[in-house]
Structure 1
């Protein structure tokens, strides 16, 4: 009787190990799901998932306590900030530096010639802008550059000789006082011809390539000051030279 009972006890299989084994498989499955999801989401979302799983699990440091695999494997988050810049951003930064150097050279000329009240430079998102008040270039109602002011235009042309060359846009602007004479029916036409004639004087410098130049006229439609005062109208009567950033394309 005792021997038969002992045999029955030995035939019983202990299955208690299945419980921790099942828990381990569940944890591994959760781990692989998280790792797969982390490759599809950004780092912020991964950290949120990691905190959620870590708070749900108890005891010890889990795999979710280690740095995000997205952060370790993503070159955009592991390389220095300077190296993260794209090629286009690096070229733009270099171009801005070169435009600032050109601006400094032009500002030196303006200061040397005591032309601070007539010329100014501004570095904008579009490029380097040189503003010239019309009153030092043209007589009222005329689009011809005054002979005594052609020298200023020629000196500016020498400042525009650059290597590599950049696209240069000449634009004419007027105040809102209507014009009606035998040559021009509107301020728009006057502003266009002033831009064209000023550009022609610049291009007398044979070191400049005409293919990089263009002219526009805006009339009174792009004022920089109020036309209600003589001072404001003076500021609006101007010629602008826009030196655009150099690009990979060539003309």
Structure 2
């Protein structure tokens, strides 16, 4: 009886040891698998991080090139349009939107009308030439603005319509008479709601009646390239 009891005890220990060994092996196998998986993910993340760094460097390089190009273009504008800048008829400034060319409405339009004057057409010819030389493929946004008294003077239904009509006529002239690619252009009107100055003085109201031509850093090819990627 004692011998049988001892054998039973030894057998139980052996079986327990086998079970413990299997559990240990299974745990080792599981942990090894998790480690391999994490190692693979780490290598993939490291590769993606390297690719992102390369893209960032290329982006910064492109941005630097664009910044220098815009600064150079502004200098060209200030030379070519020196008389207009001096008289207050036009000026240019760099913003996060791009190069903004502001033009006094009196320089472009017949008084109390959205129709371009002969002087305005000549001025737009000059603007078109500048854009063609400096920004052959950039998007261009044309925005119309008024003062807060336009309705009383010009008898339009709203400042929105009047400012948009003026911006649209600038766009039409550039596309129809100067052959600027219509894919690059858009027009919008903001009425009296984005003033540059207070409307309580004659000078302030004159400053607010304007057309702004915004040359964006984005180019036509940028969207196509992004879509292909």
Task: Tell me which interval the TM-score lies in, with the shorter structure as reference length.
Answer: 0.5 to 0.7
Distance in structure 1 (CA, Å) of the matches to 2:135 and 2:224? 13
Match of 2:39 in 1: none
- The one of 36, 40, 62 equivalent to 1:91 is 62
Unaligned runs of 5+ in 1: 1-73, 76-82
After superposition, the Cα gap between the structure-2 partners of 1:174 and 1:181, relative to the gap in structure 1 and judged at 3 Å, is closer
After superposition, the Cα gap between the structure-2 partners of 1:89 and 1:116, relative to the gap in structure 1 and judged at 3 Å, is farther
More helix by share: 2
More strand by share: 2
Distance in structure 2 (CA, Å) of the matches to 1:202 and 1:236? 23
Would you say the 8 A contact 1:195–1:239 is kept in 2? yes
Distance in structure 1 (CA, Å) of the matches to 2:149 and 2:73? 35
TM-score (norm 2): 0.67
Match of 2:208 in 1: 236
1:249 equivalenced with 2:220 (yes/no): no
After superposition, the Cα gap between the structure-2 partners of 1:182 and 1:235, relative to the gap in structure 1 and judged at 3 Å, is closer
Would you say the 8 A contact 1:110–1:116 is kept in 2? no
Deviation at 1:85, TM superposition (A): 5.4
- The one of 165, 169, 181 equivalent to 2:141 is 169
- The one of 110, 134, 147 equivalent to 2:81 is 110
Runs of 4+ in 1 over 3 A off after TM superposition: 112-116, 180-183
| Count of paired positions | 171
TM-score (norm 1): 0.61
After superposition, the Cα gap between the structure-2 partners of 1:213 and 1:245, relative to the gap in structure 1 and judged at 3 Å, is same
Deviation track 1:41-90 (CA, whole Å, cap 9, x = no partner) reads xxxxxxxxxxxxxxxxxxxxxxxxxxxxxxxxx99xxxxxxx99532222
Considering only aligned residues, what root-mean-square deviation do their CA atoms show, in Å? Answer: 2.6
After superposition, the Cα gap between the structure-2 partners of 1:113 and 1:224, relative to the gap in structure 1 and judged at 3 Å, is closer
Would you say the 8 A contact 2:84–2:91 is kept in 1? no
Match of 2:119 in 1: 148
Deviation track 1:101-132 (CA, whole Å, cap 9, x = no partner) reads 22112111111566541110000011000000
- Which of the pair has more CA radius of gyration? 1
1:139 equivalenced with 2:113 (yes/no): no
- The one of 205, 208, 221 equivalent to 2:178 is 205
